[in-house]
């Protein structure tokens, strides 16, 4: 598990991450069963990274929260990146329990810091510091060709927001999301990576909900996969 500020210009206290993960681990209860369905490619991959010689199942959760100097957490949101709702719920419950106990507080003059917390599969788990480990799970690997999901030929019909057109502004919206085996975007998996204006984000989210992707394939079988996509909106001339 990693704990970092959402604003990269902000620096957390030196021991904050270790104390945070330690407290989280004491309250976190991993699901007894963890069915996995999202697949990620294993190298070697082609130059675009869209086709790989092998693949493995993925497990990942991203959480957001604002930490305060009294030890409380609020604005807790959990992104279910690997479509494992039981795991996402366990993460949310642990964060809520931490907030209630208020045992990990910021130090110094900073009153609050928005955080991003990531739990994911490690390629070399033995190299992960003990204080960052949350739980262990065996993840299957496949020596079968893998192809990531791709957008339809028509693209994603994200409308230029009317308010932005009036203001004469544009934006670049970067998202990560999971496309299931049927080619649909799992909206609970959408993670905002970068954007400036809310209206552009809303436009992209609305469009994704109505877009059918070409799903990923592991050999001849369609599977769910994680996609990173950037949408550009040029300001009107």
Each residue's pLDDT, cut to its tens digit, for the chain (237 residues) gives 999 999 989 999 889 999 999 999 999 999 999 999 999 999 999 999 999 999 999 999 999 999 999 999 999 999 999 999 999 999 999 999 999 999 999 877 789 999 999 999 887 878 888 888 999 888 899 999 999 999 999 899 999 999 999 999 999 999 999 999 999 999 999 999 999 999 999 999 999 999 999 999 999 999 999 999 999 999 877
Distances (CA, A) of 144 to 18, 36, 57, 214, 220: 38, 17, 12, 19, 9
> What φ, ψ does residue 164 adopt, rounded to 5°?
-70, -35
Tokens linked to 120: 């994911």
User: Helix H segments across 33-107?
Assistant: 85-101
Question: For residue 108, what pLDDT is reported?
Answer: 73
Q: What is the pLDDT of residue 113?
A: 96
Q: Which of 193, 190, 191, 195 is closest to 170 using CA atoms?
A: 195
- Tokens encoding 92: 């949310």
pTM exceeds 0.85, yes or no: yes
Residue labelled with tokens 């204080």: 131
pLDDT for the residue 198: 95
Structural domains in the chain, CATH included, are 2-142 (3.30.1150), 148-233 (3.30.2420.10)
Helix H, strand E, coil C: the string for 159-201 is CCCHHHHHHCCCEEEEEEEEECCCCEEEEEEEEEEECCCHHHH
Please give the pLDDT value at position 94: 98
What is the chain's Cα-based Rg? 19
CA atoms within 13 A on the CB side of 132: 17
Residues paired with 184 in a beta bridge:
212
SS3 235: coil
**What residues have CB less than 8 Å from 168, skipping those under 6 apart?**
235, 236
CB 139 within 8 A of CB 57: yes
Tokens 């192809």 sit on residue: 147
């Amino acid at each position: 598990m990693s704990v970092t500020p959402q604003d990269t210009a902000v620096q957390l206290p030196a021991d904050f991450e270790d104390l945070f993960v330690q407290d989280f681990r004491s309250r976190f209860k991993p699901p007894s069963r963890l069915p996995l369905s999202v697949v990620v490619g294993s190298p070697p991959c082609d130059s675009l990274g869209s086709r790989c010689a092998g693949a493995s199942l993925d497990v990942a959760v991203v959480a957001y929260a604002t930490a305060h100097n009294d030890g409380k957490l609020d604005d807790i949101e959990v992104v279910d990146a690997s479509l494992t709702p039981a795991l996402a719920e366990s993460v949310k419950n642990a964060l809520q329990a931490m907030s209630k106990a208020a045992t990990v507080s910021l130090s110094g003059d900073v009153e609050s810091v928005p955080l991003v917390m990531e739990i994911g599969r490690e390629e070399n788990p033995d190299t992960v510091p003990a204080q960052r480990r949350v739980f262990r799970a065996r993840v299957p690997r496949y020596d079968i060709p893998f192809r990531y999901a791709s957008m339809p030929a028509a693209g994603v019909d994200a409308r230029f927001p009317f308010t932005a057109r009036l203001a004469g502004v544009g934006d670049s919206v970067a998202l990560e999301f999971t496309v299931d085996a049927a080619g649909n975007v799992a909206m609970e998996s959408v993670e905002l990576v970068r954007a400036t204006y809310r209206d552009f984000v809303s436009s992209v989210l609305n469009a994704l909900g109505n877009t059918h992707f070409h799903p990923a394939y592991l050999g001849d079988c369609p599977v769910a996969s994680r996609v990173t996509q950037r949408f550009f909106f040029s300001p009107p001339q």
